[in-house]
Chains A and B, each alone.
Chain A
């Protein structure tokens, strides 16, 4: 059997929380990922493989997911209203293929 190796492609989502949310604190970032896991289930989590990769300011951060599953991630974040017992809302501001384009967008709007 021949395995063809294709380039793994990601998508980056710029997310803003309704209240300050510092993902550099490991408890908060893992709390967010586990809350997402509850929403999308084991299969969805494997498909998405979400990871927080960049914190822009107090409330805006970037999440990396597998390409092609953006819709699932956006829906999961819409219905996610509690992280570590804190009531929060998450808005997906922009989806892009690179972090650079998201940071340039941030510079414009924040």
Chain B
């Protein structure tokens, strides 16, 4: 199975291999993060706090997925993501810099979203979206964090996998 990650800076190839990924996609080169979808040759990922805008932009064919800010996502948005087959990305790097209590609160929010997305059959993917080298994580670490989000023993969720870029 191949594993991928997404970062906001270019990670050298030897480090990508050591971290256990087939490839770490770079923002600006392989994908772009925008608030409103503008014309771009690479895949567009929408990052906005406005839920109405998220729902509106998901109808755009050029949009590949959405990143939810502040870990808040309404059921309506998840439904729209499932209908339009857009991926919901969970940015992990922001979690790493929180205090313990804040982190637990954010994890609870993520858990609720992932469970709702699973029920509605929406695609969910976990990625670091690291801004710097300190925020990067290896495959093992990302795998353990995804396990921490879904703590159930007989979980059928697979939010971590190689299907992030499969069409």
A residues at B contact (CB < 8 Å): 16, 18-19, 71, 74-75, 77-79, 81, 87-89, 91-93, 95, 109-110
Question: Are B18 and A109 in touch, CB under 8 angstroms?
Answer: yes
Which one of B19, B20, B133, B144 contacts A78 once the chains associate, using CB atoms below 8 Å?
A: B144
Q: Is B59 an interface residue (CB 8 A)?
A: no
Q: Is B17 an interface residue (CB 8 A)?
A: yes
Query: A79-B96, A79-B103, A109-B17 are known contacts. Are A18 and B148 too (CB-CB below 8 A)?
Result: no
Q: Is B141 an interface residue (CB 8 A)?
A: yes
> What's the Cα separation between A13 and B140 when bound, in Å?
11
Which one of A79, A87, A89, A95 contacts B136 once the chains associate, using CB atoms below 8 Å?
A: A89
Could you say which residues of chain A place their CB within 8 Å of the CB of B14? 109
Query: A91-B19, A93-B19, A109-B17 are known contacts. Are A74 and B134 too (CB-CB below 8 A)?
Result: no
Interface residues of B in 100-147 (CB under 8 A from A): 103, 133-138, 140-141, 144-145, 147
Q: Is B165 an interface residue (CB 8 A)?
A: no
Question: Are A87 and B18 in touch, CB under 8 angstroms?
Answer: no
Q: Which residue of B lies closest to A60 (CB)?
A: B18
Question: Are A89 and B134 in touch, CB under 8 angstroms?
Answer: yes
Question: Are B134 and A91 in touch, CB under 8 angstroms?
Answer: no
Q: Is the interface of A mostly helix, strand, loop or mixed?
A: mixed
Question: Are A93 and B18 in touch, CB under 8 angstroms?
Answer: yes
Which one of A19, A81, A88 contacts B97 once the chains associate, using CB atoms below 8 Å?
A: A81
In the complex, how many angstroms separate the beta carbon of A103 from the nearest chain B beta carbon?
A: 15
Which one of B134, B140, B145 contacts A18 once the chains associate, using CB atoms below 8 Å?
A: B134
Question: Are B133 and A93 in touch, CB under 8 angstroms?
Answer: no
Question: Are B97 and A92 in touch, CB under 8 angstroms?
Answer: no
Could you say which residues of chain A place their CB within 8 Å of the CB of B134? 18, 81, 87-89
Knowing that A79-B96, A91-B137, A91-B141 touch, tell me 5 more A-B residue pairs with CB under 8 angstroms: A75-B141, A75-B148, A91-B138, A92-B138, A93-B20
> What's the Cα separation between A78 and B116 when bound, in Å?
26
Query: A18-B134, A18-B136 are known contacts. Are A77 and B141 too (CB-CB below 8 A)?
Result: yes
